[in-house]
Amino acid sequence: MNFESSTLSLLRIHRCLLALLVVTIFIASCKKSEEDPANQPYGRITFRFDQMIDGKPVVKNQLLYTNAAGNQYLVTDVMYFISDITLYRNDSGSRMIKDWQDIFYIDDAIPSTLVHPFLDKIEPGIYDSISFIFGITEEKNKSFMFVNPPEVNMAWPSVLGGGYHYMMINGKWMDTTGLLMPFNLHLGIGQLYHGTGYNTDSIYAFVQNFFKVSLHGSSFTLNDRDSLVFRLAMNIERWFEGPHLFDFNQWGGDIMQKQPAMQVVKENGADVFTIQPVTRLPAKY
Amino acid sequence: MVVSKPFRSASSEVKGPVIFLGFLLLFQLTAFDVFAQMNQDTLMLQEVEIIGVNKKGFREILIRAPRIEYAPVRDIGDFLRQEPNVAGIRKGGVSIDPVVRGFKYNQVSVLLNNGVKIEGGCPNRMDPVASHVECENIDQIEVIKGPYILKYGPVMGALINLQTARPHPWETPSIHGKVLYGFESNWNGQREHIYLEGGNKRVFFNAGGGFKGYGSYTAGNKELYNSSFQKLYGSAGLGFAIGAKNSLIVNYLYDQGKNVRFPALPMDERLDQTHVASVNFTSENISKTWERLQFQTYFSLVHHVMDNLNRASANTMQAVTTVDARNVGGKLVTVHKAGDHSILAGIDYEDVWKNGEKVMTMKMIMEGDTFISVKHTNVWNDAGYRNAGLFGEYMVPLKNTELTAALRFDYNQAHSQDTFRLVKDGNSYFDKTASAFFNVSFGLGARIRLLHGFYLNGALGLGTRSPSLLERFIKLMPVQFDSYDYLGNPQLKPEHNWQADLSADWRHPEIGVFSVGGFFSLITNYITGKVLPPSVIKPSTQGAPGVKQFYNADAVYLTGFEVTWQSPASKQWFCTLNAAATWGIQPDAVRYVVSGGQVTDQESVKNDPLPEIPPLEGSVRGGYRFFKNKLIPSVTVRLVNAQMKVSESYGEQTTPGFVTAAIALRYSPWKFISVTGGIENLFDTPYYEHLNRRMIGSTNPLYEPGRVFYVNAIFRF
């Protein structure tokens, strides 16, 4: 072997590799120019949630209320999910809120859950209405999808259909003997049982009780860089009236294994929510 | 793999005056964490490179067994944190994950015996590779900074080569042994180790084993941290000399961790069992130009079980994860010499497989009835990759210059039997699971002697690593420091590290060794995580604020330096000064604005510091050798700067600086016995390293142990 020539070859290889390195680093450092999405017009919206009874903010733990069936009751907890919020444009298009979250948890005892600023950048325009799913659709309502409090506390047992409660309104009502009895107005996946009891072994089918809520009077106009706040109110007394009367003395305090009772609540739920006038906040982008 | 040690004679080990002196020096130099590095280095200056720069021009740290033996070492990752620009990620009392110059996780290649690889089972890295081998089994640790050594497999940022004690031939039939007992106050830690070795010229063996049991430690802030652990381990080796030139060695190693608590992780390790077996054949001096032929094959298996049963979170949801991991591979290496030219060439192969399941159990009491819901999910589903490599290394001495060039090609093919798919609104997040890559790596090194004792060293390299099984296929486990659940990305591309090192060292018999060097790394296709919206996927681990998915970000860079001074070996006093730092920058990062627990916006962050980069650190180690090295007191002071350059995009927190001190005294009245005692964290300083993870469910740091009194006794025969 000729050592001198091999040394020269090595030096040539060394130079080539150095050149290769410099070129590669240069290429790696070049960036493609991209269209700046910040230049696209958009606005944003926020939902604020209120819990009302008879047109006023709910006062918890006080026996102040009477429902349409004549039951005196008090409320201790209000927790629920809404999902798939959809904005309908006047040109027949629609836009679902889903860029960050599509399922929203509201808990009267946790202030941070009462305001949901959506990350979605909404195209400016005229919108006719807003709708949402009360609860969670069958496709999305899967057990163990929430593992952290507070959402995890809404878990619905797998044997009863799985997923999560759509709603928990807990409180007490005064029964016909004058005793204050606890109630758990819980809505979730219902079950159909063989026979008359509620033995889980006799379940033969499940019923999805989520439903769509179309908000009346929810049209709005969104301009570029607008930030709109909607106040959404759950009128709790409406769960107990029209089209059906809900009487605690008839259904008892617990309904999560009573599909007929949940059906009544579900059908009453269509007009439970109302939307308040829009607040237009200063642009903050 | 290689029987590189010369034949050792039992008698000559004691009688030969030179070797005896070396032995004595070796014995004295390795006492405590405080000054062992310096002692070892001082000794080894006359033999082989130890710290600083090796003859190939690469920065290297070489640590021999005696230095480890005398220190109160619980695991290798913990021990390595003493070295300049080597840090570690602490999540509990043990199994600290090494970080070298800011490179971490799979960016640092950790292997055994020049090529044996272990695939850890835990997605949270409760069991990094180094934790599967106990420090008592270690014969030598080699840390090479940079992607320059390519003969052991793909290397991206650094290489840690752990050499375990292996059997070797004996000139005369012999049997020798060692017994070690160590105790540490504070967490009432005890370790016992016994080791035997012997044989003759033809057949030789070794066997050893031990136990470690540690309780929870109290930090300097007087808080008790649930950091207890138990380790049980054993090893055996059998070797045969076949003719004068060939040897065959078979090794087996078992390591078990049990009830290992990790207060900074959502789970604890219930059981971790490791089996490693290897066969090594070496043929040397085959012909005038054919210097060596080596063949190595290995098999490693890890069974890992972890759960949250000792955590408050188990009251609402219990989670148990079981993972099995396997790594099988081998390599064939041939070394040729022609004059001063040396050429090494070889091929290697690695087949990694992983399978794991998480079982979540939720107990609900509703309306007087108790309901139990159980969910089984796979963490990995029959996932794996195969890596075939072809490599070569060429060394030649020119006038005053040593030149080294290394080149490596890898073909990496990954697969998984996942049925999980995540495609939403036309975006494919986790879909096609197969991938294949052809990777190129190279390293160039030069060591130039400018003046007598003064050297200038340069190295340039490209290290390429294919994504790990975790980065490719993990499903919803909190595997990084930010508590997010992580989702793998089967379509990740390999990560590249373009690195340059420049250093100088000056060696003088009266002044000692002074070494200064710096490096710059440009990492392209940098693998990191970005947040996925909850509308796409939600976390499955309690406490995880959301889900991040691995992706290839734009280029990031790391830069840093190391400065070392070691006193001359000829002095009775000794001293070592170290200073090192690394900085890392991600030029374009994204920060998520969180309001009320929800992400409400995202912002671009320019020149964001990379997360988990240790701050500027310096240390001073010194002592004196009394009575012909029989009594060696020493002291170490470590000064660590505050880390204020933290990643905004990761929401990383700053860490205050601290100063700690340690003292030690080693007494070796006879050659067969040595007792070391000392105090670590002398002033009971409340401190934590920047890389220590936060306590789970909070932003509170996991503090380091407070004051620890320790004693190590070693008896040899």
**Each residue's pLDDT tens digit, A9-55:** 544 544 554 555 455 444 444 444 445 556 789 898 999 999 999 99
Best mutation target, A144, A154, A168, A200, to test chain B (most B CBs within 10 A):
A144
Contacting residues of A for B542, CB less than 8 Å apart: 147-148, 152
Contacting residues of B for A159, CB less than 8 Å apart: 371, 373
CA distance B247 to A179: 90
Residue A181 touches chain B, beta carbons under 8 Å: no
pLDDT digits (tens, 9 = 90+) for A108-141: 999 989 998 888 889 999 999 999 999 999 999 9
- B residues 423-452 closer than 8 Å to A (CB): 425, 442, 444
Residue A21 touches chain B, beta carbons under 8 Å: yes
Residue B173 · residue B199 · CB < 8 Å? yes
A-chain residue closest to B533, CA distance = A100
CA distance B46 to B66: 17
Contacting residues of B for A119, CB less than 8 Å apart: 533, 598-602
Candidates B253, B231, B355; CA nearest to B298 is: B253
Would you call B704 helix, strand, or coil by DSSP?
Answer: coil
Residue A257 touches chain B, beta carbons under 8 Å: yes
Best mutation target, A25, A103, A142, A148, to test chain B (most B CBs within 10 A):
A148
Q: For residue B259, what are its two tokens?
A: 């009830």
Percent of chain A residues past pLDDT 90, beyond the cut? 61
Candidates B308, B498, B102, B172; CA nearest to A26 is: B498
Q: What is the pLDDT of residue A281?
A: 63
Strands B158-164 and B86-89, by their bridges, are unpaired
CA distance B640 to B689: 9
8 Å CB contact of B373 and A152:
no
B85: Cβ contacts below 8 Å, ≥ 6 apart: B100, B101, B145, B560, B562, B580, B581, B582, B614
Contacting residues of B for A18, CB less than 8 Å apart: 460
Would you call B647 helix, strand, or coil by DSSP?
Answer: coil
8 Å CB contact of B374 and A1:
no
Question: Between A24, A115, A155, which is nearest B373 by CB?
Answer: A155
pLDDT at A283 over 70: no
pLDDT less than 70: residues of chain B: 1-57, 367, 595-600
Q: What is the pLDDT of residue B651?
A: 86
Residue ranges of the domains in chain A? 1-39, 46-281
Q: What is the pLDDT of residue B19?
A: 36
Q: In which element (H, E) is residue B470 found?
A: helix B469-473
CB atoms within 10 A of CB B428: 12
Backbone angles phi, psi at B572, to 5 degrees: -75, -30
A-chain residue closest to B337, CA distance = A1
pLDDT at A71 over 70: yes
Query: What is the Rg, in whole angstroms, of the alpha carbon atoms belonging to chain B?
Result: 25
CA distance B106 to B88: 13
Residue A155 · residue A164 · CB < 8 Å? yes
Residue B538 touches chain A, beta carbons under 8 Å: yes
CA distance B464 to B443: 11
Three-state helix/strand/coil letters over B548-586 = EEEEEECCEEEEEEEEEEECCCCCCEEEEEEEEEEEEEE
Q: How far is CA B519 from the centre of its chain?
A: 20
A-chain residue closest to B340, CA distance = A3
Residue B535 touches chain A, beta carbons under 8 Å: yes
Mean pLDDT of A63-77: 94
Candidates B547, B378, B539; CA nearest to B473 is: B378
Question: Between A17, A144, A158, which is nearest B442 by CB?
Answer: A17
Question: Between A24, A143, A256, which is nearest B373 by CB?
Answer: A143
Higher per-residue pLDDT: B39 or A225: A225
Q: What is the pLDDT of residue B46?
A: 31
Runs of H (alpha helix) within chain A: 3-29, 248-251, 259-268
DSSP state of A141: -
8 Å CB contact of B396 and A17:
no
A39: Cβ contacts below 8 Å, ≥ 6 apart: none
Contacting residues of A for B601, CB less than 8 Å apart: 119
Residue B94 · residue B448 · CB < 8 Å? no
- B residues 478-507 closer than 8 Å to A (CB): 498
pLDDT at A191 over 70: yes
DSSP state of A269: G
Provide the whole-model pTM. 0.83
Rounded alpha-carbon distances, angstroms, from residue B74 to A24, B32, B232, B283: 44, 13, 12, 36
Residue A69 · residue A248 · CB < 8 Å? yes
pLDDT digits (tens, 9 = 90+) for A201-214: 899 999 999 999 99
AA identity, residue B621: R
8 Å CB contact of A3 and B538:
no
Residue B341 touches chain A, beta carbons under 8 Å: yes
- A residues 69-108 closer than 8 Å to B (CB): 98-103
Query: What is the Rg, in whole angstroms, of the alpha carbon atoms belonging to chain A?
Result: 28
Question: Between A24, A162, A256, which is nearest B366 by CB?
Answer: A256
Candidates B440, B556, B410; CA nearest to A20 is: B440
AA identity, residue B239: G
Residue B548 · residue B486 · CB < 8 Å? yes
Residue B510 touches chain A, beta carbons under 8 Å: no
Q: How far is CA A130 from the centre of its chain?
A: 14
> What crossing angle do the helices spanning B36-44 and B17-29 adopt, rounded to 10°?
160
Residue A206 · residue A190 · CB < 8 Å? yes
Candidates B442, B488, B443; CA nearest to B469 is: B488
